[in-house]
A and B are shown apart, each in its own frame.
Chain A
């Protein structure tokens, strides 16, 4: 076999592996109920996010002074808020924003973190040492405080919040991927590839990276939930989201003003929305982790 063919063969083996536990997971019994419930919730949320304007007939941004604080009814399923805006419409539109932020945060942290971690584990040396110290420094800040600080420094916008939380999460992915990379880089097939003459970059990209990424992917699912909670927390404090854009955390903070009066729908539903989303992500993450641990 030529070099090219040799290097192609492990691709096929390597590429299939990350997906194996998903298909296997569907077959097994334990955790199936939780998994499917979570999957249903997340897919439902994604659907709402994508088709939001079609699902709700009301404009989530337009103020209607005459309709302030209407209780839930057939006209307004979840009532209206202090600006007369339909709560359900705002919740659904907020799905877009919150999901977008969570996915962006985790995407950023996962991609940057894994690449850096894999590189670091593979190359070692001074680069590895320095990077690990930087990661240590980043992890010395509690994630929420780091995100708070960065959002304050960079200014109050959604992009900056994504950047802030993303940077706070990146260290986890760096560590995880690097840890895996350290394990796999000396495995036989990597050595074999090197002996045969496959370039180190190719080895890294096609073979080792996909094999090191599994724990990171599991972590990513978990991180989606955390990102949602951290975003909501920051928004609750007033950082990141600019009115009148709807976002679940902001809606909880606005609803919290009504906790001692009768407008229960303003704080209950946004909090529930956060719960449902995070529950969905956590459920999936949980199942993924069970699969992966089984594999090992």
Chain B
């Protein structure tokens, strides 16, 4: 089938899944023990006030009605109000998304670069010392608890060595972030020619990025190695070698593109995981991202915020999967013709 129909099919499936996600999380939040109106009203509230707030939050209506209201609002881009920040959920999420996105991108780039290099190297030099070192490092990296690692890195590199700036958000305390355009500090500071800001942003990114990268590189490295190996052992590669074609040319032009498909899936999974924000890292480094927002929302029974967050992640996942599928079909024509 043509690319167009393929995309439409995938989108169709995605929309159905997203709808399911919206329903599921809506029901889940209504099942959360504890009436948020109580918490919002406070301990001294008179019963009439609690009733008023319950009505205001729409919690007195039957669940299907509540859902319908929520759903129609959603279609107009209104994700409701977070009562713990008193701001619209959409505003909250989009304000915090750049922080998570920047950290996610940095960690993704680092993990992919290192992972792909090590994995391919290990595959090409199969059985050698390099291969074994990469193997052991992979297992080690994948076995460390992220929160413990973050703590130790802060302790060693900030507290003892002072090699990195303080683990307090994305910039030095007294610095003003540049006014856009993207919200990604590394880009924005350069756009405005703010060199000091750029260095501060990079400095604050280092530790959380490295923590995440250490834990995620093994996943990519393993898949890269496995996939490359499979391709290197395939018939056509053996043939090409037998004929006498150079190995490097082989690796780059023929083996790698074919190996990329499962690697891309893995990279997609890693990126999706990163974009969901990581509450452990964000609270350790006071990183104002969506992970910590989701955790606070959960702890305060902030329904709309929880729902908004899950929906946002769902959309991101769908988008990433779609991109991967499209990349597949570009790399491997067999898929789109299937």
The reply to whether B159 and A260 contact each other, CB–CB distance below 8 Å, is yes
The reply to whether B145 and A233 contact each other, CB–CB distance below 8 Å, is yes
From 235 to 291 in chain B, residues with beta carbon under 8 angstroms from any chain A beta carbon are: 272-273, 276, 278-280
From B13, B143, B159, B313, contact of A279 by CB (8 A): B143
From A31, A133, A145, A286, contact of B294 by CB (8 A): A145
Tally A-B pairs: CB < 8 A: 110
From 120 to 157 in chain A, residues with beta carbon under 8 angstroms from any chain B beta carbon are: 133-134, 136-137, 139-142, 144-145, 148-149, 152-153, 155
Number of interface residues of A (CB under 8 A): 40
Residue of A nearest to B20 (CB): A137
The reply to whether A229 and B146 contact each other, CB–CB distance below 8 Å, is yes
The reply to whether B145 and A286 contact each other, CB–CB distance below 8 Å, is no
Interface string of B306-320 (1 = CB under 8 A from A): 100010011001100
The reply to whether A286 and B139 contact each other, CB–CB distance below 8 Å, is yes
Give Cα distance in the complex from A52 to B21, angstroms: 44
The reply to whether A225 and B143 contact each other, CB–CB distance below 8 Å, is yes
From B17, B127, B273, contact of A136 by CB (8 A): B17
Q: Is A51 an interface residue (CB 8 A)?
A: no
Residue of B nearest to A285 (CB): B139
Q: Is A293 an interface residue (CB 8 A)?
A: yes
CB B141 to nearest CB in A, in angstroms, measures: 10
Q: Is A232 an interface residue (CB 8 A)?
A: yes
The reply to whether A136 and B20 contact each other, CB–CB distance below 8 Å, is yes
The reply to whether B148 and A271 contact each other, CB–CB distance below 8 Å, is yes
CB B212 to nearest CB in A, in angstroms, measures: 13
The reply to whether B16 and A133 contact each other, CB–CB distance below 8 Å, is yes
CB A180 to nearest CB in B, in angstroms, measures: 16
Residue of B nearest to A31 (CB): B135
From B32, B152, B222, B276, contact of A145 by CB (8 A): B276
Give Cα distance in the complex from A252 to B155, angstroms: 14
Q: Is B144 an interface residue (CB 8 A)?
A: yes
Chain A residue numbers with a CB within 8 Å of B16 are 133
Q: Is A196 an interface residue (CB 8 A)?
A: no
Chain B residue numbers with a CB within 8 Å of A229 are 145-146
CB B60 to nearest CB in A, in angstroms, measures: 21
Q: Is A259 an interface residue (CB 8 A)?
A: yes
The reply to whether B142 and A278 contact each other, CB–CB distance below 8 Å, is yes
Given contacts A260-B155, A267-B148, A282-B139, 19 further A-B contacts (CB under 8 A): A34-B136, A133-B20, A134-B20, A137-B24, A140-B17, A148-B279, A148-B298, A153-B28, A153-B32, A233-B146, A236-B147, A236-B280, A260-B159, A267-B151, A278-B144, A278-B145, A282-B142, A283-B139, A293-B230
Chain B residues in contact with chain A, CB under 8 A?
13, 16-18, 20-21, 24-25, 28, 31-33, 127, 135-136, 138-140, 142-148, 151-152, 154-155, 159, 222, 226, 230, 272-273, 276, 278-280, 294-295, 298-299, 306, 310, 313-314, 317-318
Can you report 21 A-B residue pairs in the complex whose CB atoms are below 8 A from each other?
Answer: A34-B136, A133-B16, A133-B20, A137-B17, A137-B20, A141-B310, A141-B313, A142-B313, A144-B279, A145-B294, A149-B28, A149-B298, A153-B31, A229-B145, A229-B146, A236-B147, A252-B145, A253-B147, A275-B144, A275-B148, A279-B139
